[in-house]
């Protein structure tokens, strides 16, 4: 039988209190603490901490603290991407962020899901679905992207929008739930 960490990585239901998952979360918490308290005058240290925390970090990536994640190693950030203050990336499933993406303050990328049935939820079962953000997308401040969502390249998500389903490339989407407001040339 697969461990809970193996089940989590496979996108199946798992229990988050599994010792392997807890150890990974503690590792991430220590690295986040160091990153979030690092000095703006130490950009090399900040980059080193991000490289150690995250699965991959492209050239020219900027992340402003505070930054929060579950595990870190399931997050991939493409070159030239900027992540503003207060980002929360719950990465129990992969989060893939393309190149030249702009992420506003207090954006949340939330891969976890929970059973809707009361008993499995009470027993603390959970699962997750990946999130993909295409190249040159812009997520406005306070936007929330839910589990399983792909946002296409060049797409703009308005401030405060909640994105429960995929968005195609080259659109502006706003609201809760996010709806396409207009298409970009």
Catalytic residues: 114
Beta strands per DSSP E along 4-130:
14-15, 56-57, 62-63, 67-69, 75-77, 82-83, 87-90, 95-97, 102-103, 108-110, 112-113, 125-128
Cross-strand partners of 89: 69, 109
For residue 167, the 8-state DSSP code is B
CB atoms near residue 1 (< 10 Å) = 5
What angle separates helix 19-36 from helix 43-53, to the nearest 10 degrees? 170
């Amino acid at each position: 039988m697969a461990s809970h960490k193996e089940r989590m990585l496979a996108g199946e239901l798992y229990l988050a209190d599994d010792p392997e998952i807890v150890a990974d979360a503690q590792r991430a918490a220590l690295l986040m603490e160091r990153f979030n308290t690092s000095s703006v005058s130490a950009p090399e240290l900040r980059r080193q901490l991000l490289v150690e925390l995250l699965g991959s970090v492209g050239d020219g990536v900027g992340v402003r603290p505070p930054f929060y994640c579950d595990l870190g190693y399931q997050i991939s950030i493409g070159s030239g991407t900027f992540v503003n203050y207060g980002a929360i990336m719950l990465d129990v499933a992969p989060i893939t962020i393309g190149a030249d993406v702009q992420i506003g303050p207090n954006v949340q990328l939330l891969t976890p899901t929970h059973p809707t049935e009361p008993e499995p939820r009470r027993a603390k079962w959970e699962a997750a679905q990946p999130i993909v953000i295409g190249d040159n997308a812009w997520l406005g401040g306070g936007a929330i992207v839910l589990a399983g969502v792909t946002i296409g390249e060049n797409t703009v998500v308005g401030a405060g929008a909640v994105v429960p389903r995929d968005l195609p490339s080259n659109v502006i989407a706003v609201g809760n739930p996010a709806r396409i407001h207009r298409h970009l040339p």
